[in-house]
């Protein structure tokens, strides 16, 4: 019997197992709040309603002790969830010692303390709500691709080389050679797309960036669709459909969790297709007209992204950046070859880039030239050139950072709350 199902058992005797979230005492009356992962419910224990030794055991119980209770469910207008449990029996499974009480009390705590106790902090209401929404988002992503005919083909985590830059890689020993933790599954997704047509990979990615901002983790999860014969327009359309689907699913199924997080739901309800499309040229004009100081030819900084995304009530797609500031594999715009056929999707409310994608170069000679220009070693990605030797076709795809999407939809201050155990530059514990 789970707390979440309590409404269907009004008037009935049930057994609940879980943890003691809080215990209020009022003479011969105890008010334990029990949580079991599915929800929270307040119990009412009258001294005369249960055996004396069980009442005493409950009375001295510390926060987060594990226990089993038997009682009768009763609808009560005073209860936040609408129901209370009249307790008849209590069995303590493990009592938390008074010498070492549970550290996360129902009071305020600093972020440093909470991060050190992340393994326990997960039990609190906010993290629980965030993790349930994260779960819903990932489920929605998989359902979306499944319904659209995509085949999952996951990329390796141990890789022989970088696909964008070499400075941000985690190096690991691989027997007698060096390997790196993947920064992106894209190159492998391209190979899979040539086999399966429409494919995606979804897994952890790693960047040894010395970034220390609310938008950065060194280990984060990314979903990367890749589609044969797709143009930049196809990539943009796929991205807006995916994001709309995900937001809609969370609104449909996770209202209670959004309420716990005090998320402004109206902002999410505004997320409807089509998303505005803004060329890089226009983006520079818009940012500078709004008071920014963007120099043409450079990437958008965090402040620039905010200035631009504030102008829309839904995610904005910025396309056709100067090729010079983008990755080597991006197809140039045939009308203006100095621009890349790429797109970044910026989330509203200052949450920044959640999607980055492009049409890929399908011509082998051009690709080889770009690899040389970027001074990348060719030997580890010789296989990648094979994709342009054997039936090369135009294709494209994008990567969507899950934690940034979770952070945006949940309205979080920092992406580290969007993943169970965040990895940041100065913290790898717990």
Partner RNA sequence: UCCUCAGUAGCUCAAUGGCAGAGCAUCCGGCUGUUAACCGGAGGGUUGUAGGUUCGAGUCCUACCUGAGGAGCCA
Residue closer to RNA by CB (options 177, 429) is: 429
Residue closer to RNA by CB (options 127, 197) is: 127
| Residue 148 interacts with RNA (CB under 7 A): yes or no | no
Pair 404, 422: CB distance under 8 Å? no
State which of residues 8, 11, 27, 147 lies at the interface with RNA (CB under 7 A): 27
Residue closer to RNA by CB (options 218, 331) is: 218
Site for RNA in 304-363 (CB under 7 A): 305, 325, 327, 344, 352-356
The 10 Å CB-count burial string (b at 16+, else e) for 344-366 is bbbbbebbbbbbbbbbbbbeeee
| Residue in 272, 245, 225, 164 with CA at minimum distance from that of residue 400 | 225
Cα 381 vs. chain centroid, distance in angstroms?
30
| Residue 48 interacts with RNA (CB under 7 A): yes or no | yes
d(CA 375, CA 383): 17
Size of the site for RNA (CB under 7 A): 76
**Phi/psi class of residue 59: alpha, beta or left (left: φ > 0; alpha: ψ in -120 to 50)?**
alpha
Give me the phi and psi of 257, to 5 degrees please.
Answer: -70, -40
| Residue 415 interacts with RNA (CB under 7 A): yes or no | yes
CB of 162 to RNA, least distance (A): 12
Site for RNA in 173-232 (CB under 7 A): 184, 207, 209-218, 220, 222
Pair 345, 275: CB distance under 8 Å? yes
State which of residues 12, 46, 264, 269 lies at the interface with RNA (CB under 7 A): 46
CB of 391 to RNA, least distance (A): 27
State which of residues 25, 146, 264, 386 lies at the interface with RNA (CB under 7 A): 25
Name the token pair of 341: 């056929």
How many C-beta atoms surround the C-beta of residue 226 within 10 A?
32
CB of 147 to RNA, least distance (A): 23
Site for RNA in 78-107 (CB under 7 A): 78-80, 84, 98-99, 101, 103, 105-107
d(CA 19, CA 97): 14
State which of residues 18, 45, 63, 240 lies at the interface with RNA (CB under 7 A): 63
Binding track, positions 251-290, relative to RNA; x by CB under 7 A: ----------------------------------------
Residue closer to RNA by CB (options 77, 147) is: 77
CB of 163 to RNA, least distance (A): 9
| Residue 375 interacts with RNA (CB under 7 A): yes or no | no
CB of 418 to RNA, least distance (A): 9
How many C-beta atoms surround the C-beta of residue 34 within 10 A?
24
Residue closer to RNA by CB (options 256, 301) is: 301
d(CA 387, CA 390): 6
CB of 357 to RNA, least distance (A): 8
**Phi/psi class of residue 11: alpha, beta or left (left: φ > 0; alpha: ψ in -120 to 50)?**
left
Pair 272, 315: CB distance under 8 Å? no
CB of 33 to RNA, least distance (A): 8
CB of 177 to RNA, least distance (A): 26
* Part of the chain binding RNA (CB under 7 A), chosen from 57-65, 121-129, 257-265, 267-275: 57-65
Sheet with 177-181, strands from edge to edge, namely 158-159, 177-181, 171-174
* Part of the chain binding RNA (CB under 7 A), chosen from 40-48, 135-143, 267-275, 389-397: 40-48
| Residue 53 interacts with RNA (CB under 7 A): yes or no | no
Site for RNA in 103-132 (CB under 7 A): 103, 105-113, 115
DSSP string, 361-412: P--HHHHHHHHHHTT--SGGGHHHHHTTTSS---EEEEEEEHHHHHHHHHT-
Alpha helices in 25-89 (DSSP H): 52-59
């Amino acid at each position: 019997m789970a707390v979440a199902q309590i409404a269907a058992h009004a008037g009935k005797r049930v057994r609940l197992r879980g943890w003691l979230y809080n215990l209020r005492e009022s003479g011969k009356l105890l008010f334990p709040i029990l949580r079991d992962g599915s929800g929270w419910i307040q119990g009412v224990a009258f001294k005369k309603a249960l055996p004396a030794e069980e009442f005493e055991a409950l009375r001295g119980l510390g926060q987060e002790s594990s226990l089993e209770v038997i009682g009768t469910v009763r609808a009560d207008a005073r209860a936040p969830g609408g129901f209370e449990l009249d307790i008849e029996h209590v069995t303590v499974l493990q009592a938390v010692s008074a010498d070492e009480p549970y550290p996360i009390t129902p009071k305020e705590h600093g972020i440093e303390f909470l991060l050190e106790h992340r393994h326990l902090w997960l039990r609190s209401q906010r993290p629980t709500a965030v993790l349930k929404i994260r779960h819903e988002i990932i489920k929605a992503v998989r359902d979306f691709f499944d319904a659209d005919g995509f085949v999952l083909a996951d990329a390796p985590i141990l890789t022989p080389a970088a696909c964008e830059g070499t400075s941000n890689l985690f190096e690991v020993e691989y027997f007698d050679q060096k390997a790196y933790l993947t920064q992106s599954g894209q190159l492998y997704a391209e190979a899979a797309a040539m086999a399966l047509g429409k494919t995606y990979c979804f897994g952890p990615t790693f960047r040894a960036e010395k970034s220390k901002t609310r938008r950065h983790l060194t280990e984060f999860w990314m979903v990367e669709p890749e589609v044969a014969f797709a143009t930049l327009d196809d990539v943009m359309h796929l991205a807006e459909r995916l994001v709309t689907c995900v937001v809609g699913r969370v609104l449909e199924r996770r209202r209670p969790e959004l309420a716990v997080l005090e998320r402004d739901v109206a902002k999410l309800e505004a997320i409807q297709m089509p998303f505005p499309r803004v060329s890089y040229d226009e983006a520079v004009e818009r940012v500078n007209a709004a008071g920014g100081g963007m120099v043409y030819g450079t990437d958008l900084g965090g402040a620039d992204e905010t200035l631009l995304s504030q102008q829309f009530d839904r995610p904005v797609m910025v396309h056709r950046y100067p090729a010079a500031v983008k990755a080597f594999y991006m197809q140039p715009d045939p009308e203006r070859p100095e621009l890349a056929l790429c797109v970044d999707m910026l989330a509203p409310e200052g949450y920044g880039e959640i999607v980055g994608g492009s049409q890929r170069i399908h011509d082998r000679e051009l690709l080889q030239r770009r690899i040389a220009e970027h001074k990348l070693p060719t030997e580890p990605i010789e296989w990648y050139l094979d994709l342009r030797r054997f039936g090369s076709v135009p294709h494209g795809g994008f990567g969507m950072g899950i934690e940034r999407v979770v952070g945006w939809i949940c309205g979080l201050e920092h992406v580290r709350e969007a993943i169970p155990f965040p990895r940041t530059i100065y913290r790898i514990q717990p």
